[in-house]
Amino acid sequence: MSSTNFVLAIDQGTTNTKALLVTADGRVLHQASVPNTVTYPQPGWAEQSATALVDGVRQVIAQVVAKAGASAIVALAISNQRESIVVWDAATGEPIGPCIIWQCRRSAPKCEFLRAAGHADAIERKTGLALDPLFPAAKIAWLLDNVSGARARAERGELRVGTVDSWLLWSLTNGAVHATDHSNASRTQLFDTAALQWDTDLANLFDVPRSMLPEVRSSDSNFGHLAEGTTALPAGIPIHAMIGDSHAALFGHGVRTPGAVKATYGTGTSLMTLTGERVLSSHGISSTIAWSQNGLPVHALEGNISVSGQSAAFMAEMLGLTDAAALSELAETVPNSNGVSFVPALVGLGAPYWRSDARGTLTGMSLGTKPAHLARAAIEAIAFQVADVFSAMQRDITVRLAELRADGGASQNGFLMQFQADVLGRPVTTGDAPEVSALGAAALAFAGLGIATSTVPETKRYIPTISENDRAAHLFRWHGAMAQTLHTQPRTGTNGGELS
Ligand X SMILES: O=P(O)(O)OC[C@H](O)CO
Which lies closer to ligand X via its Cβ, residue 306 or residue 363? 306
Which lies closer to ligand X via its Cβ, residue 14 or residue 189? 14
Candidate segments 69-77, 80-88, 167-175, 478-486, binder of ligand X by CB under 6 A: 80-88
Shortest separation between residue 189's beta carbon and ligand X, angstroms: 13
Regarding 310 and contact with ligand X (CB under 6 A), the answer is no
Tell me the per-residue interface mask from 1 to 20 with ligand X, x by CB under 6 A, - otherwise: ------------xx------
Which lies closer to ligand X via its Cβ, residue 286 or residue 341? 286
Please select the residue that binds ligand X; options are 47, 83, 132, 435, rule is CB under 6 A: 83
Regarding 81 and contact with ligand X (CB under 6 A), the answer is yes
The beta-strand segments (E) located in 252-402 are 260-265, 269-276, 286-293, 296-305, 341-343, 361-363
Regarding 281 and contact with ligand X (CB under 6 A), the answer is no
Which lies closer to ligand X via its Cβ, residue 253 or residue 474? 253
Which lies closer to ligand X via its Cβ, residue 304 or residue 394? 304
Regarding 435 and contact with ligand X (CB under 6 A), the answer is no
Regarding 380 and contact with ligand X (CB under 6 A), the answer is no
Regarding 297 and contact with ligand X (CB under 6 A), the answer is no
**Residue 65: strand, helix, or coil:** helix
Which lies closer to ligand X via its Cβ, residue 245 or residue 407? 245
In eight-state DSSP terms, residue 26 is S
Candidate segments 60-68, 244-252, 313-321, 442-450, binder of ligand X by CB under 6 A: 244-252
- Those residues whose C-beta lies under 8 Å from the C-beta of residue 466, and which sit 6 or more positions away, are 422, 474
**Residue 77: strand, helix, or coil:** strand
**Residue 292: strand, helix, or coil:** strand
The residue sitting closest to ligand X, measured at its beta carbon, is 14
CB 417 within 8 Å of CB 379: no
**Residue 453: strand, helix, or coil:** coil
d(CA 347, CA 306): 7
Shortest separation between residue 97's beta carbon and ligand X, angstroms: 19
CB 366 within 8 Å of CB 334: no
Which lies closer to ligand X via its Cβ, residue 44 or residue 414? 44
Helix (H) or strand (E) run with residue 16 in it: strand 16-23
Regarding 102 and contact with ligand X (CB under 6 A), the answer is yes
d(CA 169, CA 178): 7
Regarding 303 and contact with ligand X (CB under 6 A), the answer is no
**Main-chain dihedrals φ then ψ at residue 18, nearest 5 degrees:** -125, 155
Which lies closer to ligand X via its Cβ, residue 250 or residue 424? 250
d(CA 411, CA 332): 16
Regarding 253 and contact with ligand X (CB under 6 A), the answer is no
Regarding 23 and contact with ligand X (CB under 6 A), the answer is no
d(CA 48, CA 427): 39
Task: Decide: residue 51, CB within 10 A, 0-12 exposed, 13-18 middle, 19+ buried.
Answer: middle
Regarding 184 and contact with ligand X (CB under 6 A), the answer is no
Shortest separation between residue 264's beta carbon and ligand X, angstroms: 8
Which lies closer to ligand X via its Cβ, residue 223 or residue 265? 265
Shortest separation between residue 82's beta carbon and ligand X, angstroms: 4
Which lies closer to ligand X via its Cβ, residue 18 or residue 225? 18
Amino acid, single-letter form, for residue 65: V
Question: What sign does the CA torsion over 382, 384, 388, 393 have?
Answer: positive
Shortest separation between residue 245's beta carbon and ligand X, angstroms: 5
- The torsion angle over the Cα atoms of residues 382, 324, 36 and 433, rounded to 10 degrees, is -70
CB 474 within 8 Å of CB 388: no
Candidate segments 52-60, 75-83, 327-335, 456-464, binder of ligand X by CB under 6 A: 75-83
Residue 89: how many other CB atoms lie within 10 Å: 15
Regarding 245 and contact with ligand X (CB under 6 A), the answer is yes
Phi-psi region of 423 (alpha: psi -120 to 50; beta: other; left: phi over 0): alpha
Please select the residue that binds ligand X; options are 218, 246, 411, 418, rule is CB under 6 A: 246
- Binding-site residue total for ligand X (CB under 6 A)? 9
Query: Which residues contact ligand X (rule: CB under 6 A)?
Result: 13-14, 81-83, 102, 244-246
